[in-house]
Amino acid sequence: MKARNALLAAFTLSTLATAVQAADEVVVYSARIDELIKPVFDLYTEKTGVKVKFITDKEAPLIARLKAEGANTPADLLITVDAGNLWQAEQEGVLQPVKSEVIDANIPAQYRSSTGSWTGLSLRARTIFYSTERVKPSELSTYEALADKNWEGRLCLRTSKKVYNQSLTATLIETHGAAKTEEIIKGWVNNLATDVFADDTALLQAIDAGQCDVGITNTYYYGRLHKQQPDLKVKPYWPNQQDRGVHVNLAGAGVTKHAPHAEAAQKLLEWMTTAEAQTIFAGVNQEFPANPAVEPSAEVAAWGTFKADSIATEVAGKRQAEATMLMDRAGWN
C-alpha cells in the first residue's frame, strides 16, 4: 500500500510538472540546428509569450522517435532541412494535415505537401559553382552538360550519401527517366577531379584552391564561406535557365500527428510563413524565403535572380531511394 502511494505520488508530481509547463508552449523536434532556429523562436516568444522548447538531431532519428512515441509524443512540430524527409515523415504517418489560409496564401503550392501535412519555409538552391580563374560562365549551361567530356578531371561532387544530392538526382529521374539519368550520373563520376567530398564547404574550398574547376553545392554554403573570404575565386552559376530551371530544395515543417498543442503549433507554423519570420528564418542562413513576397537578404540578392525548377518538391521524397540506388550503380560514393 505504501509503495502504491509512493508510486502514485511520483506520477502525480510528474503530471503536475507537465501540466504547469503545458500552458503556453510548443515543443519542436528540429533537424535544423540550434543557431538557425533559435532566433526565430526567440522572436516568437517575445511577441506572443508562447515558449518554444526544442531538441535537434538528424531527421531519421527524429522521425523514428516520433513513430516510437506515437500518441505519447511531447512533440508538436517537426522541422527538417530537406523536402524528401518531410515527405517521408508524412508517409510514416507522424504528421497531420493542416488547413490554413495563412499558409496557403504565403507559400506557393509546389513548396507544400499536397495533403497539407507540411510546408516549406525556406528554399535552398543547389546550383553549379565555378572557378573564376579557370572557367568562363559561357562554358556552362546545364547540370546535364557537366557530364560532357570537356569536364573530365575538373568536376567536384559531394558524397551521394547526402540527401541534397539524392534529391537532385530524384528530380533528374523525374525529368529524364532512369536510364538517361544513370548516363548523366556516370558522366559526372567519370569527370571527377578527386574523391567526393564529405561536405559542401570543403568542395567550394577545393574549387578555390584549384583542385577542381566546377562543382555542385547549395548556395548558402557559398554565402557563409564568401562572408569569411570575400576574395573567394568561386562564383555561382544558374544552370538550365533555358529549360526547367535551377534545382531547389527546401527546409520546412509539419505539425505532428499526436501534437499535444496542435493549435499552438499551427499558429507558430503560420507565423513562420509571414514576412517577419521569413526574413530571419532564411536570413540567418542566407537561404531564399519560401514566401515569394519576402525579399532575400542583400547578400543573397547580390547573386542575381534565376528561374527555379517548378517540379513539385515531393518528388525528392518519392524517388529518393530509387535515386540513391541509381547513384550506387553509377559508382557515385
Say if CB 115 and CB 286 are below 8 A apart: no
Residue from 23, 49, 58, 229 that binds other proteins (CB under 8 A)?
A: 58
The least CB distance from residue 151 to other proteins, in Å, is 18
Per rule CB under 8 A, is residue 206 in the interface with other proteins? yes
- CB nearer to other proteins: pick between 19 and 109: 19
Residue from 72, 150, 242, 305 that binds other proteins (CB under 8 A)?
A: 72
Classified as helix, coil or strand, 223 is helix
Say if CB 149 and CB 190 are below 8 A apart: no
Per rule CB under 8 A, is residue 231 in the interface with other proteins? no
Q: What's the number of CA atoms in the CB half-sphere (13 Å) around residue 214?
A: 26
Sign of CA dihedral 76, 79, 84, 85: negative
Per rule CB under 8 A, is residue 54 in the interface with other proteins? yes
Classified as helix, coil or strand, 256 is strand
Per rule CB under 8 A, is residue 197 in the interface with other proteins? yes
Residue from 55, 105, 301, 302 that binds other proteins (CB under 8 A)?
A: 55
Per rule CB under 8 A, is residue 208 in the interface with other proteins? yes
Query: CA–CA separation, 97 vs 77, rounded Å?
Result: 12
* Residue position matching grid coordinates 496542435: 262
- CB nearer to other proteins: pick between 58 and 307: 58
CA 269 to chain centre: 16
Q: Which of these ranges, 112-120, 142-150, 193-201, 271-279, lies near other proteins under the rule CB under 8 A? A: 193-201
Phi, psi of 66, deg, nearest 5: -60, -45
Tell me the Ramachandran region of residue 240: left when phi exceeds 0, alpha when psi lies from -120 to 50, beta otherwise.
Answer: left
Per rule CB under 8 A, is residue 255 in the interface with other proteins? no
Site residues (vs other proteins, CB under 8 A): 4, 7-8, 11-12, 14-15, 18, 27, 33-35, 53-61, 64-65, 68-70, 72, 74, 88, 91, 159, 161, 163, 166, 194-202, 205-206, 208-211, 221, 224, 228, 320-321, 324-325, 328-329, 333
